């Protein structure tokens, strides 16, 4: 199998200096690729030319040069790999991702309480809600999917394990500019966008174990860093002391 680990970094603001923590995440992914014997690729130039940098991850779908690879693991650069276990040994259908277990009642952060009002607006605000957007542009009967252990499913976009068939399926079904329309109207990024499109188009998402993408609010609560630690909060300072 011809597999690839892919990362990118684009600044949120034009001419913003690349922070040093990016190099930590890149080196970790490079080391992991070398350990499991797969190719590694990093890009820092825009290809999607989207309204926000996180949609650069969609390049794996729309850039046909990636069709040479069977499976591709996308890792955000604010992640550190703690395992030598080969994630490509896990069979995935269209795509493999980790559900944000416990996100519906996670601890509050400055500017967000994650209570009923927050989530109701997140999904159902008449202008910025994801479900409201989907019902306007995808299907009037669109309904968000529930999770077996949480009120709703939310696969985190920081780790995406794509099969070749899943990427081509997405290329055929995802309109090229819809993500920018989604951003403009909802002010949200790639995680809710991908989830919305997966639900609407009935993608076969393989749910990976939570240890493959442990989010800040999870590992800060119980100390379990998992196979891959994701420093997805605004501050990345703990990446500098990870493992020390």
**CATH code for the domain of 217:** 3.90.550.10
d(CA 186, CA 175): 17
d(CA 89, CA 80): 19
**Within-domain flag for 207:** yes
Confidence of residue 229 (pLDDT cuts 50, 70, 90): very high
Domain residue limits at 194:
4-102+152-179+190-239
**Within-domain flag for 34:** yes
**Within-domain flag for 113:** no
**Would the pTM of this model clear 0.85, i.e. be above it?**
yes
Q: What is the pLDDT of residue 110?
A: 78
Confidence of residue 111 (pLDDT cuts 50, 70, 90): confident
- Number of structural domains (the chain) is 1
**Within-domain flag for 125:** no
**Within-domain flag for 43:** yes
37-63: per-residue pLDDT in tens?
999 999 999 999 998 999 999 999 999
**Within-domain flag for 130:** no
**Within-domain flag for 136:** no
Q: What is the pLDDT of residue 97?
A: 98
115-173: per-residue pLDDT in tens?
999 999 999 999 999 999 999 999 999 999 999 999 999 999 999 999 999 999 999 99
| Nearest to 104, CA basis, from 91, 86, 116 | 116
**Within-domain flag for 135:** no
């Amino acid at each position: 199998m011809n597999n690839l680990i892919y990362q990118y970094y684009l600044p949120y603001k034009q001419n913003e200096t690349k922070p040093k923590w990016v190099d930590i995440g890149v080196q970790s992914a490079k080391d992991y690729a070398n350990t499991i014997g797969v190719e590694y690729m990093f890009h820092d130039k825009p290809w999607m030319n989207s309204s926000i940098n996180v949609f650069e991850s969609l390049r794996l779908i729309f850039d046909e040069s990636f069709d040479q690879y069977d499976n591709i693991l996308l890792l955000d650069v604010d992640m550190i790999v703690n395992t030598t276990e080969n994630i490509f040994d896990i069979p995935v259908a269209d795509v493999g991702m980790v559900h944000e277990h416990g996100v519906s009642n996670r601890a509050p952060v400055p500017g967000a309480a994650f209570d009923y009002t927050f989530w109701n607006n997140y999904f159902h605000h008449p202008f910025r809600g994801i479900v409201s957007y989907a019902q306007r542009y995808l299907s009037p009967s669109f309904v968000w999917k529930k999770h077996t252990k949480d009120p709703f499913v939310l696969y985190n976009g920081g780790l995406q394990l794509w099969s070749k068939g899943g990427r081509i399926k997405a290329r055929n079904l995802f309109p090229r500019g819809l993500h920018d329309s989604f951003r403009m109207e909802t002010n949200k990024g790639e995680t809710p966008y991908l989830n919305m499109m997966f639900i609407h188009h009935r993608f076969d998402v393989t749910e990976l174990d939570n240890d493959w993408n442990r989010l800040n609010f999870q590992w800060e609560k119980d100390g379990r860093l998992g196979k891959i630690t994701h420093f997805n909060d605004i501050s990345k300072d703990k990446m500098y002391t990870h493992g020390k």
